Structure 1
């Protein structure tokens, strides 16, 4: 980031989550980590706001159809059972 700001050119994409904005009972580590990432990225964005050639973007997808819910043991939760976004559309 420092080098990008020095040359006033560059792009960074950070994968955050809307989960960073909710308490996330039984997912405290995940939601807390995403809260940190979302806020840290926002703070950095504010710090480099004078650098018009550098963008710092936070991708904040909702529930996406991946192996996440299986790996997290969340298939039996309401979000685990709900319809999720297509990963290709999220990436695009």
Structure 2
């Protein structure tokens, strides 16, 4: 009977040690997961800023094109009016 208690105690101790080890590995992975999430978040913020910059440049270019198209239309009207 006493041997069984010692065996059960040893098995229980071993299981507790394994559970603690698994918990430690889980916590370490959570730390690296948090780091990975933060790195991804920082990269997304950087990409978002780059997209905003590109979008603003595209708007500026569209405004320039619109002005040039307006100027072309004026010149075409002048040319057609001089032909008449």
Flag whether TM exceeds 0.5 (same fold): no
Structure in which a larger fraction of residues adopt helix: 2
Higher RCO (Cα < 8 Å, 6 or more apart): 1
* Structure number with larger C-alpha Rg: 2
- Normalising by structure 2, what TM-score? 0.29
